[in-house]
Structure 1
Amino acid sequence: MARAVLETNIPGTNPIRGKVRDIYDLGDNLIIVATDRISAFDVIMKSGIPYKGAVLAQISKFWFEFFADEIENHFITDDISQYPAPFCDHGDQLEGRSMMVKKARVMPVECIIRGYITGSGWKSYQKDGEICGRKLPAGLQQCEKLPRPLFTPTTKAEIGEHDMDITIDKTVELIGEEAAEYIERKSLNIFEKAGEFALEKGIILADTKFEWGLYDGQIILVDEVLTPDSSRFWPADKYEVGRDQESFDKQFVRNYLESINFDKSGAGIELPEDVISKTSDKYIECYDRLTGLKFPK
């Protein structure tokens, strides 16, 4: 198994380190690096998942290019030779897992689109028949496809904090009515088209998260897009209503942490090799299936 890249270190620079990404501020642009760090229950583990960061970066690039004619996004290039110094001299750290992007002012709202009733949505529905204040038909089963996709915005939480569901009215209050309508409409549109494409590849897109930003007075798509970290992808041939589904993400990690009664707070832990290996394989399989290419290890 290859070594996991837990962080990047470019001499003379001082990146901002998030849960997964190292972000280098170039002034007008950013260089975003997807490391192999993995978080579960908002806790960053001590172990990384080899190739995970490269998979996230390459899947995001795939979708940015897929939707390039329909929506502006922040992607500029992932060609290391076009990066400014000193970054262009550190392909050993950046190749395949980084991209230079436009530096947008990120909106304080995350756009959650739910196509199936699962996760926190299923728990909420069991409790009061609603998801984020939206009343749903009675009798829905776990992981059942919703009558239509739901836009359920949340706040954008800091590291270590949890996103909080907000109403459409609160979204309007935060970013204005016109912007709120735009990001809802575009998020739903991208979700539906990506879901149709993924299904052709044997993958169900159950839900996802989009982020938007302002750049030169225009709303553009930013952050990662339709990756296993920001979405639930299920193998269509194993889908069955009424139970939890297999997924192309960190589910092996979550299941292991649940099995040892991890307290979901404090410091992360070292993960067993088999959990690391199986998780890495799932990320790579997701890339292979979605793009139709073979992930270059």
Structure 2
Amino acid sequence: MERKPLRKGSVKEVYDLGRELEFRFTDRISVFDKVIPTLIPHKGETLCREGVHWFNRAKRMGIKTHFEEFLPPNGMLVKKVDVIQPEDIGPGSRNYLIPLEVICRWYAAGSIFDRLVTGKVGPEELGFPGGHKVEYGEPLPDPFIEVSTKLERVDRLLDRGEALKLAGITPQEYEAICETVLRIDEDIRREVEPRGLIHVDGKKEFAFDGDRELMVIDVFGTADEDRFWDRAKYQEGEFVDLSKEHVRQHYRRTGYKDRLYGARDKGEAEPDIPPLPEEVVATTSEIYIRLFEMITGEKFESSG
């Protein structure tokens, strides 16, 4: 079978096998939109196996996905769907990627908190009483779902009407997407909380199969796709994004982040990101392995 390179992302490589795609999760790592010239041992394998874990659970829940087979140690085989531009999507279109990213937030963190601070989002929109001062890390009264574009150069948020029109979906299909997201996230929460994690937020992607039935695609619930906090630290008032925070802190301590953002603010050439020291690599690898065990409940033994 011919294996054509289709896309090489900062973390994941995609190969076209004709009727299927092969995902390969690499040991590359990126922060601040920069790919670090250092590999993190076992990172790709842990992320891939986390994705497989949630796909298998979704199947048992009766949720259709594009997942077909785990390819140890760091690959998976998935159904292939067409990628078509929004203007070419019609009412009868089938087997295509729905050009939306669906984000579900359970806590006031990340970009939603930034928008609260700047007044772009009001507390009432998140289910809080009017005039309530939202604290960082505060649980939201209700899960907050929002959608953004998928195929545009820069992602932009869409309201419900824009999402329906852009993606060529009906209101009923939109509701089915939201319902599926909530079912999956409730399952993630039930699974990880007893193992010491808080599931803060995450994104999902969808497609229609050949019968125009919804499928969850890409991966979800992984240490890179979703935000997880340590429950014990959260109860002490700390909010740490476990997967990459150790690496981000290294570049903050060394002053690289300030130099990078200073260059961006001035429109100057961005400085190359330096490699990671061996001790940071070792600790980061241990963090990804620990997160794998906390996310899946499995003991990590490399299948490579």
Rg larger in structure: 2
In structure 1, distance between residues paired with 2:122 and 2:54: 28
State how many pairs are aligned.
270
TM-fit CA distance, 1:142: 0.6
1:114: Cα distance to partner? Answer: 0.3
Equivalent residue number for residue 73 of structure 2: 96
Aligned to 1:185: 179
TM-score (norm 2): 0.81
Structure 2's unaligned 5+ residue stretches are 82-95, 265-269
Structure 1 runs of 4+ off > 4 angstroms?
A: 10-13, 264-268
SS of 1:208's equivalent in the other structure is strand
For residue 35 of structure 2, give the secondary structure of its aligned residue in structure 1.
Answer: strand
1:254 to 233, 237, 248: 248
Question: Is 1:51 paired with 2:42?
Answer: yes
Residues 98-247 of structure 1 aligned to structure 2 (within 5 Å): 98-104=75-81, 105-128=96-119, 130=121, 134-137=125-128, 138-156=132-150, 162-175=154-167, 176=169, 177-216=171-210, 217-240=212-235, 244-247=238-241
Superposed CA offset, 1:132-163 (max 9, x none): 993552122111111011001112266xx543
Identity of aligned residues (%): 29
Q: Answer yes or no: is 1:18 the counterpart of 2:9.
A: yes
* C-alpha displacement of 1:255: 2.2
What is the root-mean-square deviation in Å for CA atoms of aligned residues? 2.4
Q: Which has the higher helix share?
A: 2
Give the Cα–Cα distance (whole angstroms) in 2 for the partners of residues 237 and 291 of structure 1.
18
Structure 1 portions without partners, runs of 5+: 1-9, 80-94
1:244 Cα deviation from its structure 2 partner: 5.0
Letter in 1 for 2:275: E
How far apart in 2 are the matches of 1:110 and 1:131?
Answer: 22
Report SS of the residue matched to 1:130: coil
2:74 is equivalent to residue 77 of structure 1: no
| Counterpart-to-counterpart distance in 1, 2:122 and 2:300 | 37
- Give 1:194's aligned amino acid: I
Cα distance in 1 for residues equivalent to 2:8 and 2:162: 29
Deviations 1:84-107 (A, max 9, x none): xxxxxxxxxxx3100111112322
TM-score where L is the length of structure 1: 0.83
CA contact (8 A) 1:132 1:165 kept: no
